[in-house]
Chains A and B, each alone.
Chain A
Amino acid sequence: DAMVIQNPRYQVTQFGKPVTLSCSQTLNHNVMYWYQQKSSQAPKLLFHYYDKDFNNEADTPDNFQSRRPNTSFCFLDIRSPGLGDAAMYLCATSRELMGTSTDTQYFGPGTRLTVL
């Protein structure tokens, strides 16, 4: 039944040790998004893929990268995690880009990242 799946749900890494979070979807949506959410804040968009077309938000640090090898999967790579990168990371999908008549965004359960 799950439509947007994130693994793992909890991830612990060490300061500076690269980490990869994964997201998969069964909706066959064209767009996949990665958000960072810190405690008591709204989700902050990092980047999105429209099919294979990557779109980075202007204020997303270079430390964050993403890969989308196929329609179903998208990965978030954090090259050198700092203490400030500890957060919930949310993946979301939409059929088409927001601003079209069919725009609705669905979120996964999130991965909580702890940096030691």
Chain B
Amino acid sequence: GENVEQHPSTLSVQEGDSAVIKCTYSDSASNYFPWYKQELGKGPQLIIDIRSNVGEKKDQRIAVTLNKTAKHFSLHITETQPEDSAVYFCAASSPRDDKIIFGKGTRLHILP
């Protein structure tokens, strides 16, 4: 089955700098890659997603890139703000499965 690895597990960046979180997946048939942000005590919130027919997608300060050959995708947050502090999960979904497989999460700290 699919396996998703996520790095780093913790990331601290200065406010205003960029943050990058990287994930790799194992199933070459995976075709959908969502990113979730989870604040303390809340449910995961979908912030951006990308499908395998697209290499990059951007929404304001957030962008996701996908390299199908390398089976790797990344989340980029620019001009980070204190409210970006949260745990971020990447995930992958394959037509072989009826579910999404999550990475282990990255705790992002934005330093003042």
Instruction: Identify the A interface with B (CB < 8 A).
Output: 4, 6, 33, 40-43, 45, 48, 50, 55, 90, 97-100, 103-110, 112
Extra pairs beyond A40-B105, A42-B105, A90-B44 (7, CB < 8 Å): A4-B43, A42-B104, A98-B100, A99-B93, A99-B96, A100-B95, A107-B44
Task: Determine if B94 and A107 form an interchain contact, defined as CB atoms under 8 angstroms apart.
Answer: no
Task: Determine if A43 and B102 form an interchain contact, defined as CB atoms under 8 angstroms apart.
Answer: yes
User: With a CB–CB cut-off of 8 A, which chain A residues contact B32?
Assistant: 98-99, 103
Name which residue of chain B comes closest to A99, CB basis.
B95
Partner of B42, one of A33, A103, A104, A109: A109
How many chain B residues have a CB neighbour from A under 8 Å?
Answer: 24
Task: Determine if A110 and B43 form an interchain contact, defined as CB atoms under 8 angstroms apart.
Answer: yes
A40–chain B nearest beta-carbon distance, Å: 8
A41 to B87, CA, bound (A): 10
Q: Is B36 an interface residue (CB 8 A)?
A: yes
